[in-house]
């Protein structure tokens, strides 16, 4: 990465590839687009000289950075069109580690209401965290979740963990502007490309979550967040859960304001017979709802269960989820 930055400053291949994106805001994650696009080539087996240094492809990180950089730069040159095309795609990340935080919110909700949960996720990507109730999560007291789950997250929870509650899910729905189908091999591979090649634990979680998604259906519509929320109403006999993780910051101000209004509408419509819960893992706001602390990277888990409990911070987490410190 350091050598790619030097190459960009010197007007090399990286500068040429990134030139159309110099005015993009930080939230566009242009660097992640670049490294994800090249990683995708490695995952496809198209750049073996680079893949040999990527643990995600069975390689090793034991090499001098210059050796890796030469293979990376060659991949960019030889596959310039593919990398340029990859740069046009906003990064799609669907981190199952964040599902460990959402699962905790589900348990708080189930314990408080004793009702089945209707899961609704905005910015759901491939909808992997719509199956978070089926993840096996490590806590100070042991593991929670099915023993045969393909998603194992040891050491996920620390601190005062949520009370253990049985989870009954009656519906799994979500939305994304560009949803990814977990049963589409090419789409699933692109999703994996946005994980850094040396982060093996994340890869194992992601591949396990893709396996789980192929076995447990969930409906993810190609729809904006505010439109999706506008179509929701509380339902008697179950809890309508709205969840999201690390997506709020990417919404345009007008969409974020519309989503806030829809959440307020659902809060006002919630009753003891038809509660509404809101579970979110997002960066801490530093001034108002349009400002994110990009430097501190403190992520909070917030939870509300209307009409019983107003929204408050229940945990702190890392950008990828674990370890999640419950209050």
121 & 80 share domain: no
211 & 292 share domain: yes
161 & 295 share domain: yes
pLDDT confidence of 296, banded at 50, 70, 90?
A: low
Q: Which of 87, 108, 133 is the last residue of a domain?
A: 87
- CA–CA dist 195, 203 (Å, integer): 7
Mean pLDDT of 184-198: 93
- CA–CA dist 162, 160 (Å, integer): 7
Question: How many of the other CB atoms lie within 10 Å of CB of 189?
Answer: 14
Q: What is the pLDDT of residue 284?
A: 74
DSSP letters spanning 101-153: HHHHHHHHHHHHH-S-EEEEEES-TT-GGGGGGGSEEEETTEEES-TT-S-EE
pLDDT confidence of 298, banded at 50, 70, 90?
A: confident
74 & 220 share domain: no
Per-residue model confidence as pLDDT tens digits over 74-120: 999 999 999 999 999 988 889 999 999 999 999 999 999 999 999 99
Q: How many domains does the chain have?
A: 2
Nearest in space to 103 (alpha carbons), one of 204, 235, 205, 198: 205
- CA–CA dist 88, 22 (Å, integer): 13
pLDDT for 269 beyond 50: yes
28 & 134 share domain: no
- CA–CA dist 274, 152 (Å, integer): 32
184 & 75 share domain: no
Q: What is the pLDDT of residue 8?
A: 96
Question: How many of the other CB atoms lie within 10 Å of CB of 39?
Answer: 28
Per-residue model confidence as pLDDT tens digits over 108-121: 999 999 999 999 99
64 & 203 share domain: no
Radius of gyration of the chain (CA): 20
Give the CATH number, domain containing residue 101.
Answer: 3.40.50
Question: How many of the other CB atoms lie within 10 Å of CB of 16?
Answer: 15
25 & 66 share domain: yes
Mean pLDDT in the chain?
A: 93
Reduce the DSSP state of residue 126 to 3 states and report it. Answer: coil
113 & 6 share domain: no
Per-residue model confidence as pLDDT tens digits over 195-223: 999 999 999 999 999 999 999 999 999 99
Q: What is the domain extent for residue 30? A: 2-87
Contact (CB, 8 A) for 34 and 14? yes
Q: What is the pLDDT of residue 294?
A: 47
DSSP 230: H
DSSP letters spanning 266-294: HHHH--SSS-EEEEEEEEPBSSSTT-B-T
Per-residue model confidence as pLDDT tens digits over 47-60: 999 999 999 999 98
pLDDT: is 264 or 61 the higher one? 264
Tokens for 64, please give them.
Answer: 């001098």
75 & 133 share domain: no
Q: Which of 45, 66, 87 is the last residue of a domain?
A: 87
159 & 51 share domain: no
pLDDT for 293 beyond 70: no
Reduce the DSSP state of residue 245 to 3 states and report it. Answer: strand
Q: Which of 50, 70, 87 is the last residue of a domain?
A: 87
pLDDT confidence of 26, banded at 50, 70, 90?
A: confident
Nearest in space to 156 (alpha carbons), one of 174, 130, 136, 171: 136
321 & 214 share domain: yes
């Amino acid at each position: 990465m350091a050598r790619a930055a030097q190459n960009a400053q010197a007007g090399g291949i990286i500068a040429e590839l990134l030139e159309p994106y110099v005015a993009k805001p930080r939230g566009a994650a242009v660097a992640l687009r670049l490294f994800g696009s090249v990683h995708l080539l490695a995952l496809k087996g198209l750049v073996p000289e680079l893949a040999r240094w990527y643990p995600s492809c069975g390689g090793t990180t034991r090499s001098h950075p210059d050796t890796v950089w030469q293979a990376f730069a060659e991949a960019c040159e030889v596959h310039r069109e593919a990398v340029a095309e990859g740069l046009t795609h906003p990064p799609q990340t669907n981190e199952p580690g964040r599902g460990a935080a959402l699962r905790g919110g589900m348990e708080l909700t189930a314990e408080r209401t004793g009702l089945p949960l209707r899961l609704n996720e905005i910015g759901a990507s491939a909808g992997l965290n719509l199956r978070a109730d089926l993840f096996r999560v490590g806590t100070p007291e042991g593991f929670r979740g099915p023993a045969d789950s393909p998603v194992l997250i040891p050491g996920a929870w620390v601190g005062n963990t949520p009370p253990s509650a049985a989870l009954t899910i009656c519906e799994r729905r979500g939305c994304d502007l560009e949803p990814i189908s977990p049963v589409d091999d090419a789409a699933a591979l692109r999703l994996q490309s946005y994980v850094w090649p040396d982060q093996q634990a994340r890869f194992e979680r992601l591949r396990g979550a893709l396996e789980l998604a192929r076995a447990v259906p969930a409906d993810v519509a190609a729809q904006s967040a505010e439109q999706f929320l506008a179509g929701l109403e509380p339902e008697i006999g179950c809890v309508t859960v709205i969840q999201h993780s690390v997506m709020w910051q990417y919404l345009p101000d007008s969409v974020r304001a519309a989503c806030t209004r829809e959440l307020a509408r659902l809060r006002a419509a919630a009753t003891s017979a038809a509660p509404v819960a809101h579970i979110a893992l997002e960066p801490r706001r530093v001034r108002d709802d349009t400002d994110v602390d990009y430097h501190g990277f403190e992520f909070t888990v917030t939870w509300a269960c209307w009409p019983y409990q107003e929204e408050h911070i229940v945990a702190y987490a890392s950008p990828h989820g674990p370890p999640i410190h419950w209050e």
